[in-house]
A and B are shown apart, each in its own frame.
Chain A
Amino acid sequence: MRAVWLGFRLLRPRDGRSAVRIVLMGMGAMFGVTAVLGVLSIPSVVLAQAGRLGAQEVVWNQERGTLPGYTTPVGARFWGQTSNRWIPSAQRSLVVHSVGAVPSGTSIPLWLDRYPEPGEIAVSPELAEHLGNEPGGFGRRFPQEIIQILPDEILVSPDQLFAVVGVGVDPLAPQNSGVFPIKQLGGDEANYQGPGFRAVRVMVVMGAIFVLLPMLVFVATSARLSARTRQRRLAALRIIGMTTPQAAAVAAFEVAFASFAGALAGVALWRALIPLSEKVGLGPLRWFASDVSVPFNNIVVLVFAVVLLSTAVALAGSLRAFSNPLQERASAGPSASVGLRQLRVLPLGVGIALLVWAAAAPTETNVWFMIFAAGNIVVGIGVYTFLPVLTSTLGRRLAKRAHSPAMRIAGRRLSHDPAAAARVVVGVLTLVLIVGFGQMLMVVIEWGATRNDPSLDAGTPQSVSILYADTDTESIRSIDGVNLAFPIVGSRTRGSRVLIASCSEMKQIAAVSSENCDDNKLQPLNRSGDSEAIHDLIPDIALADRFDFETNGSSRPEAHYRIHPDLLPRTIDVPHSWYIELNQDKESFVNTIVGMSPTANIRETAIHDRGRQASTYGALINAATIVALLLSLGATLTVLTDRCLERRRTSNQLLALGLAPTTLRKTEAIWITTPLASGLTIAVLLALFSGFAGLRLTGEWLAVPTQEIATVVIIGATCAASTALTAILATPTRLSHHIQSDA
């Protein structure tokens, strides 16, 4: 008990430095707890969003049936269509439920005042704002009258674009393939599992890798602050006769108190950031602040876990003082033997070998992943164990070839206690390893997006196809920016679709075409189709020879046959879709066509989801990188400052000897940048190599990650520069009264 009291008594800071030390220790715990709570909040957001998505969900009737006036299948109440479209300009999805043929008396979801009639729309607040702000752009998409602003309770996020549009039977009627009978609008089960959850899962994993690991480094580093001061204090207590447990209690109290206070501050910071998180979000991911929560018990457990971790690390760092209080004042003892040094290199060698294996040897995916994961983990451990060996070697060479006192002192210092410098820089090296790997993941995603999204090439005409639009060919062709528009009839599911176009029209889209276009026959295109199905659709028309063509745009119409409009049987009077080639902004066209026909479903031939992935995951990786960067760099600079301050006595002695302050600063800068620069070089190379090995899984070797490599190198250089600058600035270069009296 007396030891605890003494620990409490020792908390009272006597000078600015001890106050700063306690504050820094507390900050380590604070940022750590805030980061972990951020990650722990994800499940609550996911659950809440599942409920909200469930409320929006359309419960379809499993049995399709046909449209009215027409027969509604058993169990179904009305008809509708849902489109979920990524809006690049808004960087989020637009979900639109089109509902029609709703009989009176149909149950209405609690969040809807009534079902919109044709020409009416109920919209989310964010969509309403867009419609108000962009009458000529987004507004064209929804010319209907707004009858209700939907409540937040059913929205996934404050910025969700969501609408329920009323449509008539006519727009729905001819489009059986895109329209489904609805049992209920608004599901009552909060078990929605949509594609958005993939990103959330990724966010949890990334949070764990990018945030938790640097956080652990930060908390552990902070807890080791002033290790020498603490060792001296412990040695003094042991010398007067305190037992090891008593001295440990004294030492633990300071760290435990600082980390406890810091952890509580971390909880407060997390709570303060929740409202802000609603406004900022994470890339395209947004959420309601009210959805963010962590169970109280988990917070309590986390706070105590951080306190325990900090205390354990601090005590582990003071073990030497516990076991032998004189060891601190004795020489550091002989350096590690050659055999032991070689052992320290071993994990890195094994890790690299595993990565080489993962990069080179073709093997089954699961096995490959295990090798790859093991390789990365062992490389991470290897960098940690190898660093003191590297530092010691560099120190010896530096001292041997020194041209200046600063180099000689720094070199001797590095070779004498290589672990000290290694401990300072290991946080940054861990960060660079993680960031490097993350950036290489970005390569895969971005490369995929680039490959699949021709809109990235501004000079190329863009092709879209429209399904289920209630309009005619002439109306579409009159829209600004439409180069070509051809109707396509036929079943998508049966694989026999017919493009309606004359030979002269056809040649407009055919940059290279065969000469055998025949307006008098049904003509196969260079896509294979189901010949039996086409005879069901268009009977008794002879087949011509195949017509080969290339479009000016980036894709071909999704059709298997071509037929002249005059030969189209009267029984087929409505096209199911259109092939359209644009020479302008796709969004503008989409806004216009949806405004003309709410049920129109536009499908780009580009796989926009890859772009969405890049956007989502890229934002996640970049956000996580920034958090990891701040945590790791903060930890490094903190511990470096602490180191420099702890060396005040040595600095004073050197100053007293007549060394210039600039020499002292140079010494500190060389001491830290030597292991840091070489360690960073190794970490960057390893990170990039690990990333390349990772590309092996997807086979996307063609990606040239220039930008990502530059990012990693810039981050590394920034870390090195800021670390050197901190070393220079934190070096005491004035004789202090305190130290003079100390000596």
Chain B
Amino acid sequence: MPVLSCEGLHLSYGSTLALRGVDLRVGAGESVAVVGSSGSGKSTLLHCFAGLRVPDRGEVRVGGVLLSSLSDRRRSRLRLERMGVVFQFGELLPELTMEENVGLPLWVTGLSRSAVAERVGEVLDDFGIVHLADSYPGEVSGGEKQRAAVARALVHDPPIVLADEPTGSLDSVNADRVMSALVDRSCRYGQALVLVTHEMRFAELCDRRLTILDGEIALPRLRP
């Protein structure tokens, strides 16, 4: 059974059709890259997967659970426990340290302070930013900040990771670092990864690559 699927997704912004009957299934441990030109609807698809946007038609299932059947509260809970979401700009809270930012999902879930600290320490180490644990987002570079954002998305080992151009704001060196950390880790822990990106070199790191054109999946391609 796919951990994430959608069927016949339609969504429009006013008179603009963003998604036109998108079908997709993502299995456990599978990584899928969604590419396409700007405005093609790839980010909208990701938002629908995350339950952040409700489609006009069609359905999204997470682990077999129909998202539209859930209340906002349960959708939030599902996102907290089963998904890790990362955007182009990390959206870290400037008032929290890097360590606190990364540990936020665990902490909100209800884990003890010591358990959170232990887990966050490991993840920060994995992402090479453990030395910045006590720094604030305003004090670190964009690449380090984005690595922390990815770390936050993965810290609670969610079965699904949704990444919307996570390297879009970074230089190539930092982009490579962030992307390899994201893909390697999701692969290592068997997480399903949906990666929205412009860059083909990152898309090719994934198991599958989908192209969205004017709200429709144009060319599904399996990785050799």
CB of B141 within 8 A of CB of A240, answer no
Q: Which of A9, A14, A15, A235 contacts B91 (CB 8 A)?
A: A235
Known: A2-B108, A233-B93. A240 touches B138 (CB 8 A): no
The segment from B1-9, B61-69, B74-82, B184-192 found at the interface with A is B74-82
Q: Is B85 an interface residue (CB 8 A)?
A: yes
CB of A239 within 8 A of CB of B138, answer no
Q: What's the minimum C-beta distance from A249 to chain B, rounded to whole angstroms?
A: 11
CB of B80 within 8 A of CB of A240, answer yes
Q: Which of A238-272 contact B (CB under 8 A)?
A: 238-246
CB of B95 within 8 A of CB of A18, answer yes
CA A239 to CA B164, docked complex, whole Å: 12
Provide the residues of chain B in CB contact with A15, threshold 8 Å: 94, 138
CA A239 to CA B78, docked complex, whole Å: 11
Known: A243-B72, A243-B73, A741-B145. A14 touches B136 (CB 8 A): yes
Q: Is A474 an interface residue (CB 8 A)?
A: no
Residue among B81, B91, B100, B107 with the highest chain A CB neighbour number at 10 A:
B91
Q: Which of A245, A246, A324 contacts B53 (CB 8 A)?
A: A324
How many B residues are at the interface, by size bracket?
Answer: 35 or more
Provide the residues of chain A in CB contact with B137, threshold 8 Å: 741
Q: Which of B143-197 contact A (CB under 8 A)?
A: 145, 152, 169
Provide the residues of chain B in CB contact with A236, threshold 8 Å: 91-93
Provide the residues of chain A in CB contact with B14, threshold 8 Å: 333-334
CB of A239 within 8 A of CB of B110, answer no
Residue among B50, B81, B138 with the highest chain A CB neighbour number at 10 A:
B138
Provide the residues of chain B in CB contact with A334, threshold 8 Å: 14
CB of A239 within 8 A of CB of B52, answer yes
Across the two chains, which residue of chain B brings its CB closest to A15? B138
CB of B95 within 8 A of CB of A14, answer yes
Residue among B53, B108, B110 with the highest chain A CB neighbour number at 10 A:
B108
CB of A242 within 8 A of CB of B91, answer no
CA A701 to CA B50, docked complex, whole Å: 67
Provide the residues of chain B in CB contact with A324, threshold 8 Å: 52-53
CB of B91 within 8 A of CB of A244, answer no
CB of A241 within 8 A of CB of B79, answer yes
Provide the residues of chain A in CB contact with B81, threshold 8 Å: 241
Known: A738-B138, A741-B141. A239 touches B50 (CB 8 A): yes
Residue among A6, A11, A12, A324 with the highest chain B CB neighbour number at 10 A:
A6
Provide the residues of chain B in CB contact with A9, threshold 8 Å: 95-96, 100
Across the two chains, which residue of chain B brings its CB closest to A239? B85
CB of B52 within 8 A of CB of A10, answer no
Q: Is B124 an interface residue (CB 8 A)?
A: no
CA A237 to CA B79, docked complex, whole Å: 11
Provide the residues of chain B in CB contact with A743, threshold 8 Å: 142, 169
CA A167 to CA B152, docked complex, whole Å: 92
Q: What's the minimum C-beta distance from B179 to chain A, rounded to whole angstroms?
A: 19
Across the two chains, which residue of chain A brings its CB closest to B50? A239
Across the two chains, which residue of chain B brings its CB closest to A235? B91
CA A295 to CA B100, docked complex, whole Å: 44
Known: A14-B136, A15-B138, A741-B138. A242 touches B52 (CB 8 A): no
A-B contact pairs, 18 of them (CB 8 A): A9-B100, A12-B95, A13-B95, A14-B94, A14-B138, A235-B91, A240-B104, A240-B105, A240-B152, A241-B80, A246-B76, A246-B108, A324-B53, A326-B53, A333-B13, A741-B140, A741-B145, A743-B142
- The 4 A-B residue pairs with the shortest CB-CB distance, nearest first, are A241-B80, A236-B91, A241-B79, A243-B76
Question: Could you tell me which B residues sit within 8 Å of A by CB distance?
Answer: 13-14, 47, 50, 52-53, 72-73, 76-81, 83, 85, 87, 89, 91-96, 100, 104-105, 107-108, 110, 136-138, 140-142, 145, 152, 169
New A-B pairs, 13, CB < 8 Å, besides A9-B100, A241-B78: A2-B108, A9-B95, A18-B95, A240-B79, A240-B152, A241-B105, A243-B77, A324-B53, A333-B13, A334-B14, A741-B140, A741-B142, A741-B145
